[in-house]
Structure 1
Amino acid sequence: MTSQTYRPPSADQIRRAPKALLHDHLDGGLRPGTIIDLAHEIGYESLPEHESDKLGLWFREAADSGSLERYLETFAHTCAVMQTRDALFRVAAECAEDLAQDGVVYAEVRYAPEQHLERGLTLEEVVEAVNDGFREGERRALANGYRIRVGALLTAMRHAARALEIAELANRYRDSGVVGFDIAGAEAGFPPTRHLDAFEYLKRENNHFTIHAGEAFGLPSIWQALQWCGADRLGHGVRIIDDIEVAEDGSVKLGRLAAYVRDKRIPLELCPSSNLQTGAAASIAEHPIGLLRKLHFRATVNTDNRLMSGTSMSREFELLVDAFDYTLDDMQWFTVNAMKSAFIPFDERLAMINDVIKPGYAELKSEWLFRQTAVTS
């Protein structure tokens, strides 16, 4: 064994590594125990399980079932218990705490305010409850020795007709914790072009937005999100791989759309475990992120729905390290990509990169070199 022998970062180092998260759904990341508590408080009796471990397993199995009906049912349960100010505050605070304990130093967490109005809350009350919850979670995390900053993305549902209203809401709260806008929901049959008025409004207001595109529907969805709507980032965007040809000799040819995405440094919010559940790849080892990393696309690593995928940012990186022999340098590359692509001001992104992320990885690399030296001596 030589000093050049590859040794992957340990699970503890991966957890402690500073991470940036751009694509995480608030209603897809609840603690199972919290769902049970909130259901009891409001008399919601439709949960499939009433013990925390069993309920968490049910969510993962439903998401893995291959049944769209069962997958959507998972969100029906989480949204059902997120209909009061106290519930939204608790879920948001716990979200920030959980991410911070997993080593996430910056996160953009998205949710659809229109899905939390069943018990009389207004859109504004929903946003303020979530924002207050994030701030409380940041405070609790700091008290426990973890540093995190959480920004909210307000999501409009692409099958509904409230996108402009939600875009205006995002703009009103852009200096109060909301950092951008998103649309989500089924891509097929609901193209982003249905909501051009919202995107035109956001562009006039010089505001940021991402669009769920290229997850299930493919290249047309990506093209529309970019060329018709002007998205700053692609939510998932994993299907850009369909515009990349790999010959038998290993040579690679990019189609016009893939070349445009790479040339323009358009961020891809890739969610490996979730992408497997939606059929983008058969395994992590076959996930397009491996090739996209080699080709230097602006690829980022994300969780999507931590509850449904049984995952975390550390878990996603553990899977990638195992599949692609990634090092701490690779993790830092993905993390800096994400921070460069965040929807906060440039100077704040730069400060996070230079003052938090790079020093954090430098310390971990020093530990790694010490381990290497100890093993080879």
Structure 2
Amino acid sequence: MSTRTVPTLQALRSAPKVLLHDHLDGGLRPRTVVELAESTGYRGLPTTDVAELSRWFQQAADSGSLESYLETFAHTCGVMQTEDALARVAAECVEDLAADGVVYAEVRYAPELFVERGLKLEAVIEAVLSGIAEGKRRVERRGHRIHVGSLLCAMRQHARALEIAELAVRYRDAGVVGFDIAGPEAGFPPTRNLDAFEYIRVNNAHFTIHAGEAFGLASIWEAIQHCGAERLGHGVRIVDDIKASPDGATELGRLAAYVRDRRIPLEICPSSNVQTGAAASIAEHPIGLLAKLRFRVTVNTDNRLMSGCTLSSEFAALVDTFGYGWADVQWFTINAMKSAFIDFDQRLDIINNVIKPWYSDLVSKPLL
């Protein structure tokens, strides 16, 4: 696809973008972590120097292991155990995403991780919803527009998935747009939570599943064929079902072909995937091949604090590595908006009245 200009990081920040995979407890501002630790009495931080703490999170996450990567969340979750802290983090999340040009976002979190000091699950959800609403008010006062929904995650190693699924349905008219399971894949297949997924389905609600990040094709197959996942959180290991020959020819296995044919969205998070060992580098990341083969690829941040990234910086890395232009950025963005868990009219409104008008002057050739 040809373009008139090369997307720079500064220009990408101005472009309307869509974010489907972003963890609330993985996107705190380092200063907020320090200040909340002081105000809530959390004593576990490795340092209270803001700059040092920022570096620590990124270095600790650069382990090449999903399990080690997840250990960094002990500190962010540790400072998010009060309603005020949850509301502050949620409001700042909305502000930070809007400042990066995000016009639609689904921010996910696991309510069960924030009850260590006695909060009820409902109180956790309501605090986050109030924070999101406050963040949107602040953004709107600055003349910006952003739509933010939340996804409730159940931790796959625990036994509360059905309970969280019921809450996702109960709060869906208040801003909860879907359900997810997260946590370590190995040893905790998605089929352990079939009752939760069945509950979501019979209530006509939406869900995605973390699958194909640290574990392989079996995790993806179960998530789709047994659980009925609408989207795949990460899903990068679908590349294991694609044979590429030295001459550039490719052959899709039955699962990869099914995922592509059904247009099942892949919530790909490039920098995070490198940190957890799902990809060796951005240059070797499967996103290049998957996008070339026209899977329903979306670009996401996963955990902005741990990866030291924004959605704009993720796109900038892909532009630098794969030579993407504005047409490609628009394609990824529309893929994401098509895959959002809000109703059709809302998705169409954002695509036709926000995304396409902005890109129209930069894209010299319509998307295929």
- Give me the whole-angstrom Cα distance separating, in 2, the residues matched to 1:42 and 1:135: 23
2:230 is equivalent to residue 225 of structure 1: no
1:50 corresponds to: 48
After the TM superposition, which segments of 4 or more aligned residues of structure 1 sit over 4 Å from their partners? 4-7, 67-70, 363-366
- Give me the whole-angstrom Cα distance separating, in 1, the residues matched to 2:230 and 2:70: 27
2:78 corresponds to: 80
In our comparison, the structure showing a higher alpha carbon Rg is 1
2:172 is equivalent to residue 139 of structure 1: no
1:289 corresponds to: 287
2:150 corresponds to: 152
In structure 2, relative to structure 1, the CA distance for the partners of 1:5 and 1:131 (3 Å cut) is closer
2:18 is equivalent to residue 15 of structure 1: no
1:62 corresponds to: 60
What RMSD over aligned residues (CA atoms) do the two structures have, in Å?
1.4
How much does 1:66 deviate?
A: 3.5
After TM superposition, the score normalised by the length of structure 1 is 0.94
How much does 1:363 deviate?
A: 4.3
In structure 2, relative to structure 1, the CA distance for the partners of 1:363 and 1:87 (3 Å cut) is farther
- Give me the whole-angstrom Cα distance separating, in 2, the residues matched to 1:355 and 1:87: 35
Q: Tell me if the contact between 2:3 and 2:325 (Cα under 8 Å) persists in the aligned partners.
A: no
2:233 is equivalent to residue 235 of structure 1: yes
Q: Which amino acid aligns with 2:45?
A: L
How much does 1:67 deviate?
A: 5.7
Specify which structure has the bigger relative contact order, considering alpha-carbon pairs within 8 angstroms and separated by 6 or more residues. Answer: 2
1:314 corresponds to: 312
Q: Which amino acid aligns with 1:337?
A: N
Q: Tell me if the contact between 1:107 and 1:151 (Cα under 8 Å) persists in the aligned partners.
A: yes
2:322 corresponds to: 324
Q: 1:162 aligns with which of 160, 163, 166?
A: 160
Identity of aligned residues (%): 71
Q: Tell me if the contact between 1:114 and 1:123 (Cα under 8 Å) persists in the aligned partners.
A: yes
Q: Tell me if the contact between 1:106 and 1:149 (Cα under 8 Å) persists in the aligned partners.
A: yes
How much does 1:70 deviate?
A: 4.7
Segments of structure 1 that go 5 or more residues without pairing to the other structure are 367-377
1:374 corresponds to: none
User: Aligned with 1:216: secondary structure?
Assistant: coil
Map residues 246-265 of structure 1 onto 2, 5 A cutoff.
246-265=244-263
How much does 1:145 deviate?
A: 2.6
In structure 2, relative to structure 1, the CA distance for the partners of 1:103 and 1:223 (3 Å cut) is same
- Give me the whole-angstrom Cα distance separating, in 2, the residues matched to 1:39 and 1:67: 26
Segments of structure 2 that go 5 or more residues without pairing to the other structure are none
Q: Which amino acid aligns with 2:290?
A: L
Residue-pair matches, total: 363
User: Aligned with 1:285: secondary structure?
Assistant: coil
Q: Tell me if the contact between 1:269 and 1:302 (Cα under 8 Å) persists in the aligned partners.
A: yes
2:112 corresponds to: 114
- Give me the whole-angstrom Cα distance separating, in 1, the residues matched to 2:70 and 2:283: 27
User: Aligned with 1:105: secondary structure?
Assistant: strand
- Give me the whole-angstrom Cα distance separating, in 2, the residues matched to 1:73 and 1:187: 15
Q: Tell me if the contact between 2:5 and 2:326 (Cα under 8 Å) persists in the aligned partners.
A: no
Q: Tell me if the contact between 1:95 and 1:137 (Cα under 8 Å) persists in the aligned partners.
A: yes
Map residues 151-230 of structure 1 onto 2, 5 A cutoff.
151-230=149-228
Q: Tell me if the contact between 1:17 and 1:364 (Cα under 8 Å) persists in the aligned partners.
A: no
